[in-house]
DNA sequence: TAAATAACCAAGCAAGCGCTAGTGTGAATG
DNA sequence: CATTCACACTAGCGCTTGCTTGGTTATTTA
């Protein structure tokens, strides 16, 4: 039983689990469904994961870690201009949201199913990610680019961005970058 | 078995069910938990509702119908000024969101658990509500109050507003009206 | 006063749940 | 060549699930 390893097999199983969790919801996804999707029997599943909870934690950790990495990379690649940084964060957010869509939908809507230990651990990752946002928004406010309270503005922006998973169609005419540009245009005073 | 009536008893049971669905999630809420919260035995539950699905539909219908009523009332009470109408809609949205918080959280996050028939029926209610928003936002765009595409702007605004249920603390210093004012201030170009 | 109705309960069924125990197998390791 | 290990299997345990059945009681209606 691999408690914390990241074998390629386990990574692939985690990806499949994310897909099923999105389709059915965590509670309605049975270990038998997961096993079938993975091409094994339900008993074999517990060789890779200690229990069903651990699969959920693996899915969410994967997604959140990716978001953090992508956001950091995006910020390091642009200059100190507040507007450029705001753009970069919005683009990075939507990019990871739809590149790892399944994992992020699970993170956004099944977080409450995590047991307290896993939730505490993953909260740190998520907090680190949101701290990046608060930093960028603070700069935008000080530069007069956006008007409002830092806390509220960051919540509104993240809400607007996260909600896109409920309506955005990747096969439609708009790219995630289009969305990011439109959102920034909407909130910047000029 | 009352299929579609709205006896006071059934209304009260629906309210209690909404609370449990929020606390535990629809799937993890068992009919035995529901019955206990209602002070009856699990079998008796099926005198009031045909099945568990019907309880969910009742919860969501209640919340959505209220939202529609409140928004219509709010619009009829303000003049034709686009900014006033935008304010009124934002306030009405947050007002109903926190007055019927449980029902709305269920509607937002457990909608997918509805069976196709109930979903189809309730979609009409929700569409009627969203049509009010599109109307108001269209006016705001034409008046130059907000910049952007009508579809995207309405999605962003509703996303920001709906996401408040995940972080807003009614016991904190801010009122729902404060939130509405801040959001409108953030997105209006001036 | 008789009949109908609403509201409830005790008991339990069939199905499905997460998870465990014990075993087999082929590849890598000593 | 013997041992270990990763990975999978079969079989099923103990429990919970949504829901049904058959019947009781209190209140309203004819």
| pLDDT in the model for residue B5 | 60
Share of chain A above pLDDT 90, in %: 92
136-155 of chain B touching strand D, CB 7 A cut-off: none
Distance, CA of B107 to CA of B116 (rounded, Å): 15
The neighbouring-strand residues paired with A188 are A146
On whether residue B131 sits in a domain, the answer given is yes
On whether residue A1 sits in a domain, the answer given is no
Our measurement of CA B4 to C1' C10, in angstroms, reads 28
pLDDT tens-digit map of B49-73: 999 999 999 999 999 999 999 999 9
Q: Which helix (H) or strand (E) holds A18?
A: helix A8-24
On whether residue B146 sits in a domain, the answer given is yes
Number of domains in chain A: 1
Q: What is the DSSP string of A145-189?
A: SB-S-HHHHHHHHHHHHHGGGGT--TTSS--HHHHHHHHHHHHB-
On whether residue A12 sits in a domain, the answer given is yes
Higher pLDDT, B160 or B8: B160
Hey, which bits of B13-118 come out as E strands? none
CA distances (Å), origin B142, targets A189, B66, B77, B85, B138: 18, 29, 22, 13, 6
Closest to A105 in 3D by CA, of A69, A62, A152 = A62
| pLDDT in the model for residue B23 | 97
Our measurement of CA B159 to C1' D23, in angstroms, reads 52
- For residue A65, is pLDDT > 80? yes
On whether residue A2 sits in a domain, the answer given is no
**DSSP 8-state assignment for residue B79:** -
- For residue B3, is pLDDT > 50? no
CA distances (Å), origin B110, targets A111, A143, B58: 14, 40, 13
| pLDDT in the model for residue B2 | 38
On whether residue A83 sits in a domain, the answer given is yes
Tokens for A15, please give them: 């990806």
On whether residue A73 sits in a domain, the answer given is yes
Mean pLDDT of the region B92-112 = 98
28-57 of chain A touching strand D, CB 7 A cut-off: 35, 40-44, 47-48
| pLDDT in the model for residue B120 | 96
| Cross-chain CB nearest to A159 (options B149, B160, B174) | B160
pLDDT tens-digit map of A99-124: 999 999 999 999 999 999 999 999 99
Domain of residue B72, residue span: 53-187
Q: Which residues are in reach of strand C, CB within 7 A? A: A 29-33, 42-43, 46, 51-53; B 2, 7, 9, 35, 39-44, 47-48
Instruction: For residue A124, give the CATH number of its domain.
Output: 1.10.357.10
Q: Which residue of B has its CA nearest to A163?
A: B159
- For residue B38, is pLDDT > 80? yes
On whether residue A3 sits in a domain, the answer given is no
Higher pLDDT, A162 or A190: A162
**DSSP 8-state assignment for residue A50:** S
Higher pLDDT, B3 or B37: B37
pLDDT tens-digit map of A8-48: 889 999 999 999 999 999 999 999 999 999 999 999 999 99
* B182–A25 CB contact, under 8 Å: no
In this prediction, residue B9 has a pLDDT band, given cuts at 50, 70 and 90, of confident
Mutate to test the interface with A, among B159, B178, B183 (most CBs of A within 10 A): B159
């Amino acid at each position: 039983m691999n408690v914390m390893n990241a074998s390629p097999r386990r990574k692939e199983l985690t990806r499949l689990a994310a897909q099923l969790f999105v389709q059915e919801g965590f509670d309605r996804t049975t270990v038998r469904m997961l096993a079938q999707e993975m091409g094994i029997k339900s008993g074999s599943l517990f060789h890779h994961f200690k229990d069903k909870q651990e699969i959920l934690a693996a899915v969410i950790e994967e997604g959140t870690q990716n978001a953090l990495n992508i956001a950091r990379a995006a910020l390091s690649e642009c200059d100190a201009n507040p507007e450029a940084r705001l753009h970069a964060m919005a683009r990075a957010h939507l990019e990871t949201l739809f590149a790892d869509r399944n994992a992020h939908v699970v993170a956004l809507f099944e977080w409450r199913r995590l047991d307290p230990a896993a939730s505490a651990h993953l909260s740190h990752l998520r907090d680190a990610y949101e701290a990046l946002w608060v930093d960028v928004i603070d700069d935008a406010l000080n530069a007069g680019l956006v008007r409002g309270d830092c806390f509220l503005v960051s919540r509104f922006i993240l809400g607007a961005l996260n909600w896109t998973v409920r309506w955005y169609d990747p096969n439609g005419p708009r790219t995630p970058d289009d969305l990011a540009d439109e959102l920034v245009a909407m909130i910047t005073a000029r």
